[in-house]
Homo-oligomer: A and B are copies of this chain.
Amino acid sequence: MAVYTEVTDEALRAFLSDYALGELLAFRGIAEGVENSNYALKTEAGDFILTLYEKRVDRMELPYFLGLMEHMAVHGLACPTPVPARDGAALRELCGRPAAIVTFLPGVWPRRVRPEHCAPLGEALARMHRAGEGFPIQRPNALGPAGWAPLLDGCRARGDEVQPGLIAELDAALTGILAAWPAPDTLPRGHIHADLFPDNVFFLPDQDGKPRVSGLIDFYFACTDLYAYDVAICLNAWCFESDYSFNVTKARALLSAYESVRPMAQAERAALPVLGRGAALRFLLTRLYDWTHTPDGALVTRKDPLEYLRKLRFFVQAESPGALGL
């Protein structure tokens, strides 16, 4: 559940009185999103999303996230746009937490990814990369390669309870990934989403009934990193079937549409297998960390870390970019 903070109506009305959004008409908690409290807000001015940033988000980083969304929206990307209050500030405080109102985006995220979703996704990802150009704040990727060894250390004590031999396999994988990781400044970098899973991409049908992207959301893992790493995350998140087989048709559609907007350099294409390995390891490690640090018997849904072990193994054996659909 994604509502951690209950907002009283008095506090909400006081908060909204700083905005020029007219009267409050409705306010409902949203079940999606896991890090923050999200509410669907309806006022006389329309539909919005109100987010309260909970403790896993560092408030020092909020200007980066909100500024990036604003910059990308101004540059034509369909993404949530922070709504400033009357004094011009979009980042405010509600119930003792940083809070912001962003625009509501139409669309539905795909519960089951079909090949037809992958070309519009790839195109939207490239457009996002283009739209972020020129945004001046940098944010290092805390969950990038330098963060993986500490994360793995945090899983060491109990990781093999999930699967015998898991930690040794991950140690070996990490060593291989770090050895093959592209050297700094050898690949194009910029602002990446870093978490563009299907629940962060809204679609609506076009006039022919084909899915088109109506918006990208949840920029709270965004950071400054390799564009091709963002592509590799999407290969992980969008191109495997439920039996963990890699669907090269989806990958081809994604990559080819991506390159129709932002052609990749030869070095980026060559790096995709190791970037895919790294992306699989990154999601495996955060899931494994959560898995081994959640009390036994808890009824919360813990995402299965072994899903990403299967994906990691795929990328380990996929030695050439051709195996990924390039």
Chain A positions within 8 Å of B, measured between CB atoms, are 1-3, 6-10, 12, 23-32, 40, 42, 47, 104-108, 110-112, 202-205, 294-300
Residues of B contacting A42 in the complex (Cβ-Cβ under 8 angstroms): 47, 106
Residues of B contacting A2 in the complex (Cβ-Cβ under 8 angstroms): 1, 31
**What's the minimum C-beta distance from A319 to chain B, rounded to whole angstroms?**
34
Partner of A9, one of B8, B24, B203: B203
C-alpha spacing A29/B107, complex, angstroms: 13
Total copies of this chain within the assembly: 2
| Contact status of A10 and B297, CB under 8 A, knowing A28-B40, A106-B42 | no
Q: Are A6 and B111 in contact (CB under 8 A)?
A: yes
Partner of A108, one of B12, B31, B299: B12
Highest count of chain B CB atoms <10 Å: which of A2, A42, A111, A295: A111
Q: Are B299 and A106 in contact (CB under 8 A)?
A: no
Smallest CB gap from A295: residue in B = B297
| Contact status of A30 and B27, CB under 8 A, knowing A297-B297, A299-B298, A299-B300 | no
C-alpha spacing A40/B29, complex, angstroms: 10
Q: Are A107 and B3 in contact (CB under 8 A)?
A: no
**What's the minimum C-beta distance from A181 to chain B, rounded to whole angstroms?**
35
| Contact status of A112 and B29, CB under 8 A, knowing A1-B2, A299-B299, A300-B299 | no
C-alpha spacing A26/B23, complex, angstroms: 22
| Contact status of A28 and B32, CB under 8 A, knowing A7-B111, A108-B12, A112-B10 | yes
Q: Are A107 and B26 in contact (CB under 8 A)?
A: yes
Highest count of chain B CB atoms <10 Å: which of A28, A107, A299: A28
Partner of A29, one of B23, B24, B30: B30
**What's the minimum C-beta distance from A7 to chain B, rounded to whole angstroms?**
6
Q: Are A1 and B203 in contact (CB under 8 A)?
A: no
Please give 14 more A-B residue pairs, beta carbons under 8 A apart, in addition to A26-B104, A29-B32.
Answer: A8-B111, A8-B112, A9-B108, A9-B110, A9-B111, A9-B203, A12-B108, A24-B108, A25-B106, A26-B107, A28-B31, A28-B40, A42-B106, A294-B299
Pull 30 A–B residue pairs with CB atoms less than 8 Å apart, ordered by A.
Answer: A1-B31, A3-B31, A3-B32, A6-B111, A7-B111, A8-B110, A9-B110, A9-B112, A10-B112, A12-B108, A23-B205, A25-B107, A26-B105, A26-B107, A26-B202, A28-B31, A28-B32, A28-B40, A29-B31, A30-B30, A30-B31, A30-B40, A40-B40, A42-B106, A295-B297, A295-B299, A296-B297, A297-B297, A297-B298, A300-B300
